[in-house]
Structure 1
Amino acid sequence: MVLHNMTWIKYPSQELLEIEDIIWSQNVISRFMHVYFALFVPTSLLAGTFNLATLVRRRGVLTTLDLYLLDSVVTSLGVTLFSFTAITRPDYMVSSHLSCGVLSFFFNVCYFNAQYLQIAMLFAFLFQDYLPCVRRLKLPGGARGCLSLVLACALGASAGGAMLLGTAGSLLESAPCQVDPLSAWPEYEIVKFSLGFGAALAIEAACFLLLVGKLARGNGPAQKDGLSAYPLVLASTLSMFACRLFYNIMLLNRARLKLQRDNGSPRDELVMNIAELVLFAESCAGNLAVLFLHQPCKEALAQGLRNLSRRCRREEEAPSSMAL
């Protein structure tokens, strides 16, 4: 591994060389921040909390799909909470390299866990249903064993990313911080792209080819959870791909700039910040997919709305009866 001296790197907005472009980019990111924290954060927190409460209430009868979705909902809520680190934009919060490294590590645990969990769900509800020879490849402990493996892989990938931050010699120094530290070595972005998107994309592409082949042959899901899992897994996978594609393209662009010893332009900084918000919005899309496509959550929502409607009618009828 080549050691890099990253002391030269700065955010373009801190160089104050292109004042007009900096002001314009800061105005744009401020608008994006207002939209994200006004719409996406409350929606994600409400939907995620409702899904979590519904699944926990069913803990005595949790199916395999429920266990996977419980992990997904907790991870999505974690990502939403981590997004509060961006609330200071267009400024960046300042912390020590040690604190920033810890923040980056735990965020990446959620990041990799969500991606690997998606692959595990495709494996559980597509591969085992489609390929008879794969059904024999079962981990000890069933779904819980698979979720433990997913978490172990996420922890390993996050630890690998933490080793590439390049701040071991200056842990107590203060610097601007975000979930992907700017001062990290370019290998950090490359490894994160490879482990968190590139390899997963190849596996998911193979899964979708199998799914298309299965649907073309008119074969329905043989598993008990299959009928409800197919649209849910499909929707969450497509939303994850859409949100992560833009983000990972910008990660590679940041790595390219670092290798060229170029701080980039205010526009590069703006687009990277927007890509980060799009990544955070993935958790909102995932929670909404579970809420509207998972039958127990959908039924709980419908029941809650009916109860709310009855209560409102009673409150309206009460003043009328008192007036009589």
Structure 2
Amino acid sequence: MGLRTLRGARKRAGAWGVTVSMTQDCVGQLGPAVSPGPRRPPCVHMHNLGDGQRRGRHGPRGRPPTPSREPCLLAPSPAQSSRLFPGSSDQRGAVSGRRSPSLRARPSAGQVGGEMCAHNMSWIRYPSRVSTDVEAVIAAQSAVSRCTLVYAVLFVPVSLAAGLFNLATFLRGRARLGGLDVCLLDLTATGLLATLLSLAAIGRPDYLATTNLGCAVLSLLSNACYFNAQYVQLVLLFAFLLRRPPPCLRAAAQGPRGPAASLAAAGGCAVCSSLGAVALLGTSGELDHTTLCQADPLTAWPEYEMVKVSLGFGLALVLQLAFLVLLGVQRARRAAPAQRDAASACPVVPAIVLTTFACRLFYNVALVRRARLKLQRDIGSPGDELLMNLAELALFGESCVGSLATLFLHKPCRLALRSVPARLCQSCRRGAAGTSFALNGVGG
């Protein structure tokens, strides 16, 4: 009887020009989370009826049929779902009762260019915190822990000892400093600061928990050291290894005050580059929020990695290629060597530049890979996280290698190191002589 009544209602609604659909048809797209009641009235959708249909050609009293007062439950569109459930696909699946088996968050058609654009990094997480592959997480964290332990036990003390010794040597002979010495002094101070900042990574695989403001300050200082070391090395290449340097860098080889302009320009460019990179972190409105921090924050926009790779590695690589071209042209012309300390710069400057290039190549490859994952809205795997941690340790190890190269290849530092045993023996002899004199005085 109920089926006949329903068919009659559908015939009458068809005569009125109204489309009738059951509640099951309206809510069928919502899944099992929404189930219509057994006695729910049908859901009525009104089409755009003409004025003649509204004025009474249908119906007993000239009035259009009254639709049901109950709202029709339809599945939200992709754009509506992105507004209702912001975040990754895993979060939306958790809200709707379904869990996504993948760690990859792909944007739907309604999310492209909307709130879920590349500048919203709220979806990103460390793979070691959300991955279900327990074995891969354990293996990656074990490797990171061992490499961090080696860096903390071996590289940090050596870097601090060599850097402090070089710094003391330069300051002791500050009256006789030349242009090369001043540039190496700047690199030594930059390397010491970078080594101290690297202590924030000693606790890996656990990340430093701090506010977004503290993480931005750490990133600002780290990037300032990163860019300054690169720009000073470019000054060293063009000012001390070219037989005829450009006029703008010719003053870098003239006395202790000559490199001040070049180093000031390099420092200013480094600070501006660092400020430009930190402006792309995307945390200006959430400075007091707690986050897991590293030198290059994970939640930074993809433009952060692009700017850092372009200014810190791409531009330097182009200038180094230009230096090689100029050097080859001057070698072909057999230009006479300029009167400066090029003989002292030949062993130390190429060693520092080559080790820096090797360390930063690995580091920038890891940065480009992470930026690509962000653009694909993929948090990656524990192996990708391991690669980024190892690249950071390699970048921190650059300071240690640079300090050792300055210590063993730069003549003033090498001579000071050789004189250390003689000074220790002389101090021991003076101490022994003073002790014997005191004992003789007491015995007499």
Structure 1 residue corresponding to 2:170, chosen from 47, 55, 72? 55
Check the 8 A contact 2:149/2:202 in 1, yes or no.
no
Does the alignment pair 1:245 with 2:357?
no
117-126 vs 173-182, which moves further: 117-126
- CA offset digits 1:3-36 (Å, max 9, x no partner): 6100000100110411110000011111101111
Identity of aligned residues (%): 52
RMSD between aligned residues: 2.4
Alpha-carbon distance in 2 for matches of 1:136, 1:12: 48
Q: 1:25 to 1:136 in 2, by over 3 A?
A: closer
Q: 1:137 to 1:216 in 2, by over 3 A?
A: closer
Cα displacement (A) at 1:240: 0.3
Report SS of the residue matched to 1:79: helix
Q: Which runs of 5+ in 2 are unaligned?
A: 1-116, 440-444
Quote the residue 1:254 is aligned against. 370
The equivalences for 1:288-303 within 5 A come to 288-303=404-419
Does the alignment pair 1:145 with 2:255?
no
Letter aligned with residue 130 of structure 1? R
Letter aligned with residue 190 of structure 2? T
TM-score by length of 2: 0.67
Which structure has more helix as a fraction of its residues? Answer: 1
Q: Which runs of 5+ in 1 are unaligned?
A: none
Report SS of the residue matched to 2:377: coil
Quote the residue 2:399 is aligned against. 283
Quote the residue 1:271 is aligned against. 387
Report SS of the residue matched to 2:405: helix
Letter aligned with residue 362 of structure 2? F
State how many pairs are aligned: 316
Structure 2 residue corresponding to 1:111, chosen from 201, 208, 226? 226
Quote the residue 2:129 is aligned against. 14
Does the alignment pair 1:102 with 2:217?
yes
Does the alignment pair 1:130 with 2:244?
yes
227-236 vs 137-146, which moves further: 137-146
Alpha-carbon distance in 2 for matches of 1:107, 1:89: 17
Report SS of the residue matched to 1:175: strand
Alpha-carbon distance in 1 for matches of 2:191, 2:320: 20
The equivalences for 1:308-323 within 5 A come to 308-309=424-425
Quote the residue 2:159 is aligned against. 44
Quote the residue 2:287 is aligned against. 171
Alpha-carbon distance in 2 for matches of 1:65, 1:220: 20
Alpha-carbon distance in 2 for matches of 1:225, 1:139: 13
Quote the residue 1:207 is aligned against. 323
Report SS of the residue matched to 2:319: helix
Report SS of the residue matched to 2:291: strand
Does the alignment pair 1:154 with 2:261?
no
Cα displacement (A) at 1:210: 3.4
Report SS of the residue matched to 2:120: coil
Check the 8 A contact 1:221/1:227 in 2, yes or no.
no
Letter aligned with residue 355 of structure 2? S
TM-score by length of 1: 0.91
Report SS of the residue matched to 2:209: strand
The structure with higher relative contact order (CA 8 Å, sep 6+) is 1
Check the 8 A contact 1:126/1:207 in 2, yes or no.
no
Check the 8 A contact 2:235/2:249 in 1, yes or no.
no
- CA offset digits 1:253-296 (Å, max 9, x no partner): 00000000100000000011000000000000110111011111
